[in-house]
């Protein structure tokens, strides 16, 4: 028996901070603006970058950022990353501080974990044990060896609406069979007075660390045998 998920079985983990708005203005985001406003030093930008009226796309060694009119998306690895990755939250919070009049609609704090089966289980057995067992009648129609299983959960968690989607995927080197745990903590701010949304968003962005801890707990519980 495995009491909980060995975090060494997590093959990859990615987080995202997503700000949605009625409209963003991507043309604001330039190397000079990012540097002068203490968001990202120009020397820290690497690789291909795009700065145009329609899209801004840039990256550092730690994060990738995309800005298009409906949203700003910050994506970064949290797999075997020591400590608290502060840069992504700094980018999001600084953007909100500098652009308080943007008509923000929502904030998503997302966590995706890709989990391999324990060494003494093949994927089919593991997938069935954690997600394909029980008294649900429909499972009787998926008794074959080629069957795969997933689950969806949703609830309120603090000020967020949590959606957890667990599904089998092929990912990583060698295109392995893995279980993907996708945790989305959605915060709707459209009903908040526009003059107070920025302050509220910064407060919610600061909950990232505690939400990461809770997401890891869900992975631990969801991957138990």
Residue 151 has a pLDDT of: 96
Looking at the domain assignment, is residue 1 inside a domain? no
Distances (CA, A) of 76 to 4, 86, 119: 26, 11, 28
Looking at the domain assignment, is residue 28 inside a domain? yes
- Residue 4 confidence (pLDDT) above 60: no
Who's near 94: CB < 8 A, 6+ residues apart?
Answer: 37, 38, 39
Looking at the domain assignment, is residue 218 inside a domain? yes
Q: What dihedral angle (degrees, nearest 10) is formed by the CA atoms of 141, 142, 145, 146?
A: 120
At 139-150, the pLDDT tens digits run 999 999 999 999
Looking at the domain assignment, is residue 114 inside a domain? yes
Instruction: Point out the least confidently predicted range of 44-48, 82-86, 168-172.
Output: 82-86
At 22-75, the pLDDT tens digits run 999 999 999 999 999 999 999 999 999 999 999 999 999 999 999 999 999 999
Q: How many folded domains does the chain comprise? A: 1
According to DSSP, the residues that pair with 115 across neighbouring strands are: 10, 179
CB-CB contact of 107 with 1 (8 Å): no
From the CA atom positions of the chain, what is the Rg in Å?
20
Give residue 88's domain range.
7-222
- Residue 84 confidence (pLDDT) above 80: no
Looking at the domain assignment, is residue 2 inside a domain? no
């Amino acid at each position: 028996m495995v009491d909980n998920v060995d975090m060494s079985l997590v093959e990859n983990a990615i987080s995202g901070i997503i700000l949605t708005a009625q409209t963003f203005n991507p043309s604001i985001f330039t190397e000079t603006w990012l540097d002068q406003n203490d968001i990202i030093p120009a020397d820290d930008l690497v690789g291909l970058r795009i700065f145009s009226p329609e899209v801004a796309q840039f990256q550092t060694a730690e994060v990738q950022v995309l800005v298009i009119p409906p949203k700003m998306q910050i994506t970064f690895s949290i797999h075997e990353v020591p400590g608290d990755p502060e840069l992504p939250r700094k980018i999001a919070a600084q953007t909100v501080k500098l652009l308080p009049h943007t008509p923000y609609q929502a904030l998503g704090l997302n966590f995706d974990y890709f989990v391999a089966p324990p060494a003494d289980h093949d994927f089919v057995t593991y997938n069935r044990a954690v997600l394909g067992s029980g008294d649900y009648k429909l499972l009787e129609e998926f008794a074959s060896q080629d069957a795969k299983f997933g689950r969806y959960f949703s609830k309120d968690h603090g000020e967020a609406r949590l959606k957890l989607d667990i599904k089998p995927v092929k990912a990583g080197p060698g295109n392995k069979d893995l279980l993907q745990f996708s945790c989305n903590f959605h915060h709707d701010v459209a009903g908040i007075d526009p003059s107070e949304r920025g302050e509220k968003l910064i407060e919610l962005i600061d909950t990232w660390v505690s939400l990461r801890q809770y997401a890891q707990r869900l992975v631990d519980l969801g991957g138990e045998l």
